[in-house]
Structure 1
Amino acid sequence: MADGRDYSHDGPTEKCGVVGVSLADRNAARPLYYSLYALQHRGQESAGIVTHDGFQQHSHVDMGLVGDVFDEDDLDQLNGPAGIGHVRYPTAGGVNNCCAQPFSVSFKSGALGLAHNGNLVNADELRDELESLGHAFTSSGDTEVIAHDLARNLLEEDLVRAVKRTMERIHGSYSLTIMHDDMVLGVRDPQGNRPLCIGKVDDGYVVASESAAIDTLDGELVRDVRPGELVLLEKGGTGFDSYQLVEPDNTAHCFFEHVYFARPDSIIDDNLVYEVRRNLGRKLWEESGIDTDVVMPVPDSGRAFASGYAEAANEDEEADGVEFAEGLMKNRYVGRTFIMPTQDERERAVRLKLNPIKSTVEGKTVTIIDDSIVRGTTSNQLVDLLRDAGAEEVHMRIGAPAIVAPCYMGIDMASREELIAAGQSTEDVRDVIGADSLSYLSIDAIADVLGQSRADLCLGCVTGEYPYDIDGEPTDRDVERPTVGERTLADD
């Protein structure tokens, strides 16, 4: 059955993007709108903005791309200098309006809006408990679970303590932008799995999933939100307050943000994504470089890797030198509206999206660089395309380790049964995709380039061991957590 997704690429699917804005004396709607455009790559199913004018909350949320969801009238009706926004790709909950975000609700303690990037691992347990207490849910997503728990805590505590209580009860990955009446907050989970940063604009402050959103507003990146930190943007855009609510022993930064998801021009955890990818490409040459006539990227995500790989190859005195070339041209008009209801159509879709430049590859040995291999369908088709165009040899190099397990942290990656590398050796995968050789980047290379230890990265999809307790899966660390429903907030 057709589901409207783009199966012409084999890689993981984007998660979500969040943003929050607090300004001095102008409406936040347009800055939020521009920010969501900058974060559109993180989710294309729905988009939404919630603002507050000091008296009441205003909301517009719908299915579709940012440019389709909002028009001038919509933005004009979103009054107020404070607001939050969201773009979504569903990883928990359905593909429909009820799961679109930001989620908003009014209750005794005021109006609450919440936007979430990530995935909880105990959402069902919390939902059952809250339903037993009389909470009625309108969606199947975990964002509403967070909103209900926070609303419940706000009936008993001030804003900061209420957020802390909720953080102690929700487990998994999350970056949140929250609006309580006209107060805007940013929250990052205690292990920092999802990115979130703070920016300053002329008349206020911004929190966003990526710094590219701040750049779009002509703002200045201040810093990343720290794991376990709550950032509270002051009303009137005069500054922000910081509360370190949880002190983590280790982080669990998602390395795939740097490999695939984030925009190359974003800075995440003090690293420019473009330079990370180039350096990963250099490591790829050091670990598994092979002399060929041409090195080419799979557009667009393989480009920075291939650039670094080719640069390192040409600096290597023992190598013969290599030509870096764009050997595959991308049809940018084949996107999410191209529905492929059968597996055969999905396998052939790459021929609509990518076309080889015959003069670049004909009669030559070729190394093709991609960011990842998930199902293997696209890789197989790319190898066939290049051979059909006259390539004498086709070697594939991957700027990430082999993906052997699913992601439970908010990435729509694939089930274990669909992952081509799960239970297969590199040589087995090479044989399936038809390449002359295949090599992946090592986990140690990822950690080295990011300047972090393996213990501070989430590597679940490439090791099968996760930084969170997930039913039926091993964990890579010992984590003590309160039982759901247990109140653990210290009287501080």
Structure 2
Amino acid sequence: MSGLPQGLREKCGVVGVSLADRQAARPLYYALYALQHRGQESAGIVTHDGFQQHDHVELGLVGDAFTEADLDGLAGRVGIGHVRYPTEGGLDSSCAQPFSVSFKSGSLGLSHNGNLVNADEIREELAGLGHAFTSDGDTEVIAHDLARNLLEADLVRAVKRTMNRIHGSYSLTITHDDTVLGVRDPEGNRPLCIGKLDDGYILASESAAIDVLDGELIRDVNPGELVVLQEDGEGFDSYQLFTPENTAHCFFEHVYFARPDSAIDGKLVYDVRRDLGRKLWEESGIETDVVMPVPDSGRAFASGYAEAAQEEGADVEFAEGLMKNRYVGRTFIMPTQDARERAVRLKLNPIRDVVEGKTVTVIDDSIVRGTTSTQLVQLLRDVGAEAVHMRIGAPPIIAPCYMGIDMATREELIAADQTTEEICEEIAADSLAYLSIDAIAETLDESESDLCLGCVTGEYPYDIEGEETDRDVERPVIGDPAPADD
């Protein structure tokens, strides 16, 4: 559900800069603030001053992880940063990023957004060769493999060798001494873009990080591309190391994860969400007195849905009927059943005058376990809604994500073994409808074969033990509204 669905947590955010005439630490710090929504458990920065590497990594939010003294100690005009929510590896300082390692050929800093599907296999092999690991995260696996390859090859060849070894989803920003580089996995599952600053260049998970530094978005990093920022901040070099037959762009970036003011793979997220809302009306629109979003990511969907309805002559009002308490974080402790039942009311408070005596359509981006949706429907009925219809701006989530989203297990997903009709009855809505996969693909102007849809189809673009793949490759380069029964 919007504003942190229960059982669905953000990926990570990465950034890298190379500047001509100023220290990199503060621009990196500001960029991480712009990416804070992608991870709230830890934040870190690694810089290089031409002689040595400096790093500062702490648990917590960006604003809590760094002091002025910390930033002053991060010398150098080049560097990378990271905000993290743990997917592979536990929540502790050993898994916080960027990960730093020193070896015979210099020093490495590495920030990773994504998830490898063969990390254990590579870790075991490297450990057998004498590599000592300090965490169980897959980022350290990438760093060790790249360090090993740099002993035998130049930078570009070393990166290509590592990309040949690691399977799964990844966008990486890396420092190799005072060189910054960015890598996107061969199927482009994770976003990464390039921007121009007044005195250098930036790589970032989302263009919002470029905007906050008054930069200009140049383009997305291509799937399978290595980008090397020039040390003087004058430009960048590009190496297309892999050219996949198909991409595997994560559609959920557009549905939920990315900021609405970011552009992902050439499309403004806000516009995509509005267009998805319009599709939702076309597929399953129902005329009610009020259309309201679940804040925050449901807002653009609801706006597009209401606009499409009004264009067809529906007498419907778009209203902010739910107010979000921004001071209740996702780590809010709910030790008792009473507290768990009160959680939605603490986070979302309905505006009675908007709801009372009205039929309402509630627009959200997803339903995961269904607990929050059930409580939300009841909350609206308690303040006088005559009918509550749920419309969801994504297909039903029926399977877990192995690509870096901390999603509920298959057993916990309400749509894994229930029909839309059954879910509608369980959450006690008057009707429920999801957006179709066809609508997602059409709105993104991509074929289904170029999207990662594993969480809504159960078929994955990478070879995952025990799961189906939707691609026949030698190596994984890397409806209608449902009424509730009476």
Band the TM-score falls in, shorter-chain normalisation = over 0.9
2:123 is aligned with 1:134: no
Q: Tell me which residue corresponds to 1:272.
A: 268
| 1:270-419 paired onto structure 2 within 5 Å | 270-317=266-313, 320-342=314-336, 345-419=339-413
Question: Take 2:300 and 2:383, find their aligned partners in 1: how far apart are those partners?
Answer: 24
Structure 1 residue 478: Cα displacement: 1.4
Structure 1 residue 12: Cα displacement: 1.7
Letter in 1 for 2:425: D
Question: Take 1:365 and 1:147, find their aligned partners in 2: how far apart are those partners?
Answer: 55
Structure 1 residue 343: Cα displacement: 5.7
Structure 1 residues not aligned, in runs of 5+: 1-5, 485-492
Q: Tell me which residue corresponds to 2:93.
A: 97
| 1:29-108 paired onto structure 2 within 5 Å | 29-108=25-104
1:8–1:343 Cα change, 3 Å: farther
Structure 2 residues not aligned, in runs of 5+: 479-486
**Aligned match for 1:227, one of 220, 223, 242:** 223
1:350–1:61 Cα change, 3 Å: same
Structure 1 residue 346: Cα displacement: 3.1
Q: Which whole-Å deviations, capped at 9, do the CAs of 1:321-367 have from their partners, x for residues lacking one? A: 20000101111111134212456533431110101111101111000
CA contact (8 A) 1:374 1:419 kept: yes
Q: Which whole-Å deviations, capped at 9, do the CAs of 1:376-420 have from their partners, x for residues lacking one? A: 011001100100010000000000000000000000111000100
Provide the secondary structure at the position in 2 that maps to 1:418: coil
Provide the secondary structure at the position in 2 that maps to 1:416: coil
Question: Take 2:256 and 2:89, find their aligned partners in 1: how far apart are those partners?
Answer: 23
1:78–1:132 Cα change, 3 Å: same
2:451 is aligned with 1:457: yes
2:192 is aligned with 1:191: no
Question: Take 1:149 and 1:20, find their aligned partners in 2: how far apart are those partners?
Answer: 20
Structure 1 residue 210: Cα displacement: 0.1
Letter in 1 for 2:52: Q
Structure 1 residue 481: Cα displacement: 2.3
Letter in 2 for 1:321: D
**Aligned match for 1:201, one of 197, 203, 225:** 197
CA contact (8 A) 2:3 2:295 kept: no
RMSD: 1.5
Letter in 2 for 1:409: M
CA contact (8 A) 1:15 1:42 kept: yes
CA contact (8 A) 1:7 1:346 kept: no
Q: Tell me which residue corresponds to 2:246.
A: 250
Provide the secondary structure at the position in 2 that maps to 1:237: coil
Provide the secondary structure at the position in 1 that maps to 2:468: coil
**Aligned match for 1:158, one of 148, 154, 158:** 154
Question: Take 2:32 and 2:469, find their aligned partners in 1: how far apart are those partners?
Answer: 34
**Aligned match for 2:438, one of 439, 444, 462:** 444
Letter in 2 for 1:398: I
Provide the secondary structure at the position in 2 that maps to 1:349: helix
1:237–1:483 Cα change, 3 Å: closer
Provide the secondary structure at the position in 2 that maps to 1:417: coil
Provide the secondary structure at the position in 1 that maps to 2:374: helix
**Aligned match for 2:257, one of 237, 254, 261:** 261
Question: Take 2:77 and 2:322, find their aligned partners in 1: how far apart are those partners?
Answer: 46
Q: Tell me which residue corresponds to 1:490.
A: none
Q: Tell me which residue corresponds to 1:218.
A: 214
2:475 is aligned with 1:478: no
Provide the secondary structure at the position in 1 that maps to 2:399: coil
Q: What percentage of aligned pairs have identical amino acids?
A: 81
1:215–1:407 Cα change, 3 Å: same
CA contact (8 A) 2:275 2:304 kept: yes
Please report the TM-score for the alignment, with normalisation by the length of structure 2: 0.96
CA contact (8 A) 1:465 1:473 kept: yes
CA contact (8 A) 1:11 1:372 kept: no
Provide the secondary structure at the position in 1 that maps to 2:424: helix
Question: Take 1:343 and 1:269, find their aligned partners in 2: how far apart are those partners?
Answer: 43
1:483–1:255 Cα change, 3 Å: closer
Question: Take 1:336 and 1:11, find their aligned partners in 2: how far apart are those partners?
Answer: 11
Question: Take 2:458 and 2:4, find their aligned partners in 1: how far apart are those partners?
Answer: 26
Q: Tell me which residue corresponds to 2:483.
A: none
Letter in 1 for 2:223: P
Question: Take 2:204 and 2:375, find their aligned partners in 1: how far apart are those partners?
Answer: 37
CA contact (8 A) 2:3 2:297 kept: no
Question: Take 1:421 and 1:49, find their aligned partners in 2: how far apart are those partners?
Answer: 39
